[in-house]
Amino acid sequence: MRPGAQTTTWSERSSASSSNEAAGPAHRRQREGYTFPGSPSLQNVRADDGTLFGDFRRTLTPRYARAWVDLAMRWMFLAVGYAAMCAAASAWGARALWLVPLAAVWIGFWFASIVLFMHEAAHFNLHADKIINDRLANLAVCWMIGDDVADYRALHWQHHLHLGDVNDTEVSYRHAPTARFVFETLLGLHALRVFRNHQHASRMGNERRRGDRPVGGAVVRGLAVHALLLALTLAAGLWPAAVAWVLAVAIVFPFLSALREQLEHRSEGASRGVDYSRVPHGAVNRMFRRTLMARAFGSAGFRQHLLHHWDPNVSYTRFEDFETFLMRTDLAPLIDDARTTYAEAWRRLAQP
C-alpha cells in the first residue's frame, strides 16, 4: 500500500444495503455491526488495557465551547483581512488594486475555513440542543454559501454511506488536481458540476423533505447578505475591497474546497482516464500531520478526516482523545499508514 493512502474494503452486505439506509446516528449503526466505506468495524475494538471502544466512545462528549472559540478566531481573521483591504482602498483608492489578489486569497482561505464548521453542525456538535444547534449554524455559517444545515445534513449523510462509489454526493475527488482542473475551478465550471450533482441527489430522494420551508429560501438569504455587504462597501467608495470579496467567494473558496476534498479522498492509484461518476473510485481516507497551516486549512477536524469517516458522530473537539485510544489498538498501523501532509498528498496526486 502506498504511504499516505489508507483504504479499507467495505463489506458487500453494507454496500448492498446502504442506498436504503435512513440517516441516523453513526454510533447506533456501529453497535449493530454496520461499517462505513473506508472504515473497519469498531464494534469489538479494544485498547491495550482491555477497554472496549464502545465504553470509551461514551466519554467522547463534544466540547462546544472549544468549537465556538475556534470558529470565532476564524471569523476574526477574515474580518481583519477585509477591514485591512477596506482601509487600503480608503487610503489609496484605485492604487489599492495591487492588493486585491492577496486580499482575495486571505479572505477566501478563512471563508473556506469557516464554512467547514457547517459540517460540525451537521453532526449536531455545535450545541447540545439540536434545534439551537441548527439555528446557530444557519446564523453563524450557513448563510455564507446560501445553504441550510438541515438540508446539508441529509445530503452529507449520503457521502458517508457512499464514499467512493458512484452515488457519492461529493464529487471533487473524482478529478485529479491537474492544471486543467484548476482552470475549470477558477472559471466556475467545477462548481457547476458540484451543483448539478447535488441536484441529482435531491431528485433521487437523498435530501430530507423540506416541509413548509420555501425552497431556495436559504439561497435568497445568503445572496441578500452578500449583496448588502457589497452595497455598503461600494457606497463607501471602497470598490477594490468589493472586488476582493467577490473573487474570494466566487473563485478562491470553491478552489480550496475542491482541492481539500481531493487531498482527503482521491486515491493515488486513480486514473485520469476513468470517469468515476460511472466507475467506483473506492473509499480512501487520510490523516494530515498537525501544523498551523493544516489546522487552518483542514479546520473543524478535517485535518484528521480519517477519524471522522470511521465514526462520523465524534466531535472534532475530541479527535485527539479518539486518536490516542485508537493508537493503543490493533488499528494503529492503519492510521500510521494513512498519515501524510497536504503538500505531499498534492505532490503524489498531481503526478501524471
Per-residue DSSP letters for 4-48? T-EE-PPPHHHHHHGGGPPP--HHHHHHTT---TT----TT-B-T
Contact 120, 303 (CB under 8 A): no
Question: What is the per-residue pLDDT for 201?
Answer: 55
Question: What is the per-residue pLDDT for 211?
Answer: 45
Residue 323 has a CB neighbour count (10 Å cut-off) of 15
- 191-224 per-position pLDDT tens digit: 666 666 655 555 454 444 444 455 578 889 999 9
Question: What is the per-residue pLDDT for 352?
Answer: 75
Query: Which residues of the chain fall below pLDDT 50?
Result: 1-28, 30-32, 203, 205-212
- 256-280 per-position pLDDT tens digit: 999 999 999 999 999 999 999 899 9
